[in-house]
Structure 1
Amino acid sequence: MENNHQKPHAILFPYPLQGHVIPFVHLAIKLASKGFIITFVNTQSVHHHITKSQPNSTKEDDIFTGARKSGLDIRYTTISDGFPLGFDRSLNHDQFWEGVLHVFPPHVDELLAKMVHSDPPITCLISDTFFVWSSMIANKYNLVNISFWTEPVLVLTLYYHLDLLIKNSHFASRDNREDTIDYIPGVRAIEPKDLMSYLQATDNLSTVVYRIISKAFEDVKRADFIVCNTVQELESETILALQEKQPIYAIGPLFPVGFTNNTVPTSMWSESDCTQWLSTKPHGSVLYVSFGSYAHVSKQGIAEIAYGLLVSGVSFIWAVRPDIVSSDETDFLPVGFEDETKGRGLIVPWCHQMDVISHPTVGGFLTHCGWNSILESIWCSVPMLCFPLLTDQFTNRKLVVDDWRIGLNLCDMRSITREEVARKINRLISGKLADELRTNIGELKKVLVNSLTTHGSSENNFNQFINDVKIKIRKKLGTVTLKHNGPSFNNA
């Protein structure tokens, strides 16, 4: 049995968005269950929203208390993202991300300087790929540098080869080319409309988002290892091509298992319980509608979706985040909509998504195509109606609709109409096409389930990753003196 000083101690830094925190929590649990000591770092703002959303919680609460009771060594701390808690990060988008780019890294450095002599010493840094400081921090404190990618490897590969897109004028040109992109290693062909939203604009090299992407995807090339929340069989060609450049491990889907299901809170909004309402509906008849925890929808878009739901006649649950249009626009549903859909429609501010889509009465998901939502839909065999809004969601839609054929496209960068919404909802929920989608997604679910079995690809990759990390730690501790004037480590 390893004693504490022989156990790897990883410090985890998720990006300060709910869709990134969730897979980081599951990675922390998976690593801890394999004998790692974990220190998990949330921003004070993310922690504040999570604890505020929990009934009977206090700001001092530790989200991993339940996991520790089961014997896992997961420690928890918070740091400032550079802004006060009351600062509206959603409304002041660019200002906030400038802070993440410039103000947040010194807070990380300060925390590591304090913690590097913890018992046992921290040996691994696991940070979100979108952070720009990972290699600098890892080098300074002599840590194994692990980049955790929470989206499909297709998206990682496109960002990774930004230089090729620029060179071929498919990005950052005054007049971006619109022909097929067929020169990215591991990507057979992709249309410009299927690139991430940040790569579809022209002349945007000065934006804060581009500066983050540019720095982050140069930095990831210096990582010792990249782990990804995807499955080898879903993206084998793309993964193999990237593996020629760096060690990369597909270890997804990262879902809660056993005791951890719902015991580690990650939601930044209070969750409504919809199970009783769902139980009153026929099998496979309900459409679940949610556009995730971050993206915004125009007021007109919300209205057309509402009228489309009305016209479709389908029962639905709609998770309408209070800031879905904007934090200062709270009155956005059409007048009388809730009354007209009473009984067959349930509108909630937020809910536990897995509880809803795993319910047998749910037959479809109108989604923004966030990667967590896609993996959860496949796991629950729920076909999707795709309405991507920003970032990787457009590329994810391509995988769902074109490559895997487990969903329908709502619209392509056009304004949506209520008639189209109603028609597509009905095609998704019932009929020949709906049956085909269900068959396809059922086959894909088997791939996910098999990957997590004892000899499945994700389990094998995860074990290989752990072995490789331990070898790297031993090499680092045996050969290098810490660069911040701390003690040198000798071979154990």
Structure 2
Amino acid sequence: MDPIIPQPFGVCHVVAMPWPGRGHINPMMNFCKRLLLRDPTLIVTFVVTEEWLGFIGSDPKPYRIHFATLPNLIPSELVRANNFTGFIHAIYTNLEEPFEHLLDSLSSPPPTVIISDTFVLWAVSVGTRRNIPVASFWTESAAILSLFVHSDLLAAHGHFPTEPSETKEDEVVDYIPGLSPTRLRDLPEIYHGFSHQVLISRFTPPGSFLSVSEAEMEETVGGVRESGISFLWVARGFWTHCGFNSTLEGIYSGVPMLTFPLFWDQFLNAKMIVEDWRVGMGIKSDKKTELVRRDDIKELVKRFMDGESEEVREMRRRACDLSEICRGAVAERGSSDVNIDAFLKDITKIV
């Protein structure tokens, strides 16, 4: 654990508890940095496993953010896809007690508030037992959050739980607040009746996390090559699986996206990119084999990169417009600053 210089009582001490995964740790760290930009008197204890400290411990951060570690009581990040349900179970059962012991060591000053990833369910119980307020940190889209909050409406309309079928998948969900009309097939798989175990065996080969199969990769590379379009093969870019972090990055940068969702919220994010915001095109897999075909990819990439077509020009214009909206939100005195200032006002009143 980083040494914390004793601070006088009255200083706001934030304890950040992210879900142990890259797509959750990064936004939590960025949020903590934003808090410090708005209030440099804060101190932050950022809690990760010992393994994750090895991954990110040397990354630059403000000196008022200190790392604290939990023991490696969950499967390694390097192999967790081999048993993702076991990974989730380990987080829910193995980390609560060490986290509570860690709080015992944070006394100068004592924690003012816990900011916990929404999926770290036990953080609320820990905070309640210790009379420490807990703020829930949501890393996915507001549309997904609204689905969770209004899951009773899905049940009332016979859309949860359901088994996947061609007769059901085109039914439209048009009654969730904040969610535009959406086909049932575009909702996260939990609403289709799939188990986590089925999802992982279907989408994730051993030794990786949320990866495509070797056959899909061959079809993808072949299709892009045969499109005749110059390209640079990188881990991320205009071709995206539509995790919400990557979706936000693409929107902020004003980059049209080719969407290829694999898992969970990625399907709804892809739907919003293609149909609602209209700043992307979707890659579709064969219904029988669930494999993307190189000929389909070739034609789609050629269409996507055709800068002379009105369709692509309009898509690029919308991407630029959406980027301007996002940049305005995070500009000085934009909505992001306003909301963070309101949050800081709430938590500093606790001290």
TM norm structure 2: 0.85
**Aligned mates of 2:227, 2:77 — CA distance in 1:** 40
1:143 partnered with 2:132: yes
Asked if 1:434 corresponds to 2:312, the answer is yes
Once the two structures are superposed, the pairs formed by residues 82-93 of structure 1 within 5 Å of their partners are 82-83=73-74, 88-93=79-84
Q: Which residue of structure 1 lines up, in the alignment, with residue 113 of structure 2?
A: 124
Q: 2:27 is matched with which residue?
A: 23
- Equivalent residue of 2:81, what SS? coil
1:372, distance to aligned residue in structure 2 (A): 1.1
Give secondary structure in 1 for the equivalent of 2:66. strand
Residue 67 in 1 paired to residue 61 in 2?
A: yes
Deviation (angstroms), 1:296:
1.9
**1:303-359 deviation digits (Å, cap 9, x = unpaired):** 11011012012222334xxxxxxxxxxxxxxxxxxxxxxxxxxxxxx5xx5xxx5xx
Aligned counterpart for 1:44 among listed residues 39, 44, 50: 50
Q: 1:185 maps to which residue?
A: 177
- CA root-mean-square deviation: 2.4
**Paired residues for 1:144-159 under 5 Å:** 144-159=133-148
Shift in alpha-carbon separation, 1:413–1:168, aligned structure 2, 3 A: farther
Deviation string, structure 1 residues 383-430 (Cα, Å, up to 9, x no partner) = 100000001100101111111111001116743110111111122222
Does the aligned pair in 2 maintain the 1:13–1:128 contact within 8 Å?
A: yes
2:97 match: 106
- Code of the residue aligned with 1:8 in structure 2: it is C
Q: CA contact under 8 A between 1:452 and 1:458: conserved in structure 2?
A: yes
- Counterpart code for 1:192: L
Q: CA deviation at 1:454?
A: 2.5
Structure 1 counterpart of 2:259, which letter?
Answer: C
**Aligned AA (2:186):** D
CA contact (8 A) 2:21 2:77 kept: no
Partner amino acid, structure 2, of 1:112: L
Assess, with a 3 A threshold, how the Cα gap between structure 1 residues 380 and 82 changes in structure 2: closer, same or farther: same
1:418 aligns with one of 288, 294, 306 = 294
CA drift of 1:435 comes to 1.6
**Residue 86 of structure 2, aligned match among 74, 77, 95:** 95
Gaps of 5+ in 1: 52-61, 211-292, 320-349, 358-364, 475-492
Q: Could you say if the C-alpha distance between residues 187 and 114 of structure 1 is closer, same or farther in structure 2, counting changes exceeding 3 Å?
A: same
How far apart are the structure 1 equivalents of 2:197 and 2:136?
A: 21
Q: Aligned AA for 1:15?
A: W
The structural deviation recorded for 1:87 is: 7.5
1:121 Cα deviation after fit: 1.1
Cα separation, partners in 2 of 1:373 and 1:174, compared to 1, 3 Å: closer
Letter in 1 for 2:177: P
SS in structure 1 opposite 2:327? helix
Calculate percent identity across the aligned residue pairs. 31
How many angstroms apart in 1 are the aligned matches of 2:281 and 2:253? 17
Q: Distance in 2 between matches of 1:412 and 1:86?
A: 28
Describe the SS at the equivalent of 2:261. coil
Q: What residue is the counterpart of 1:403 in the other structure?
A: 276
TM-superposed deviation, 1:4: 4.0
Q: CA deviation at 1:457?
A: 1.4
Q: Which amino acid letter does the alignment assign opposite residue 63 of structure 1?
A: S
Q: CA deviation at 1:169?
A: 2.4
Whether the 8 Å contact between 1:17 and 1:294 is mirrored in structure 2 is no
The 2-side partners of 1:38 and 1:209 are apart by 39
CA distance in structure 1 between the partners assigned to 2:260 and 2:75 by the alignment: 33
* Kept after mapping to 2: 8 A contact 1:125/1:146: yes
**CA–CA distance in 1 between the matches of 2:209 and 2:46?**
22
Equivalent-residue separation in structure 2 for 1:453 and 1:368 (angstroms): 28
Question: 1:381–1:445: 8 Å Cα contact kept in structure 2?
Answer: yes
Please report how far the alpha carbon of residue 181 of structure 1 lies from its aligned counterpart in structure 2 after TM superposition: 1.4
Give the conservation status (yes or no) of the 8 Å contact 2:174–2:181.
yes
Q: What's the secondary structure of 2:102's corresponding residue? A: helix
Q: Give the CA deviation at 1:14.
A: 1.1
Partner of 1:228: none
Aligned to 1:370: 243
CA gap 1:412/1:144 in 2 versus in 1, 3 angstroms: farther
Find 1:76's aligned residue among 55, 67, 72. Answer: 67
> d(CA) in 2 for partners of 1:428 and 1:22?
30
Say if 1:382 and 1:87 are closer, same or farther in 2 by CA, change over 3 A. closer
8 Å CA contact 1:81–1:107 kept in 2: the answer is no
Task: Report SS of the residue matched to 1:318.
Answer: coil
- Partner SS state of residue 158, structure 2: coil
**In the alignment, what sits opposite 2:322?**
444
For 1:284, the equivalent position in structure 2 comes to: none
The answer to which of 416-425 and 450-459 deviates more is 450-459
Tell me the distance in 2 between the aligned counterparts of 1:188 and 1:436: 21
The 8 Å contact of residues 114 and 134 in structure 2, kept in 1 or not, is answered as: yes
Q: Secondary structure at the match of 2:211?
A: coil
SS in 1 for 2:248: helix
Check conservation: 2:241, 2:260, Cα contact below 8 A: yes
**Contact 1:97–1:209 (Cα < 8 Å) also in 2:** no
Change (3 A) 1:67 1:113: same
Question: What is the CA–CA distance in structure 2 between the aligned matches of 1:86 and 1:436, rounded to whole Å?
Answer: 41
Give me the whole-angstrom Cα distance separating, in 1, the residues matched to 2:95 and 2:187. Answer: 28
SS of the residue corresponding to residue 42 of structure 1 reads strand
Q: Residues of 2 paired with 1:209 and 1:20: CA distance?
A: 23
TM-aligned CA deviation for residue 84 of structure 1: 6.5
* Structure 2 counterpart of 1:456, one-letter code: G
Contact conserved, 2:286 with 2:293, CA < 8 A, in 1?
A: no
Equivalents in 1 of 2:111, 2:141: separation in Å? 29
CA distance in 1: counterparts of 2:75 and 2:119, whole angstroms: 22
Look up the SS of the partner of 2:126 in the other structure.
helix
Question: Where in structure 2 are the equivalents of 1:132-281 lying within 5 Å?
Answer: 132-173=121-162, 177-178=168-169, 179-202=171-194, 204=195
TM-score (normalizing by structure 1) = 0.62
User: Greater share of helix residues, 1 or 2?
Assistant: 2
**What residue number does 1:379 align with?**
252
- SS across alignment from 2:108: coil
Number of aligned residue pairs: 327
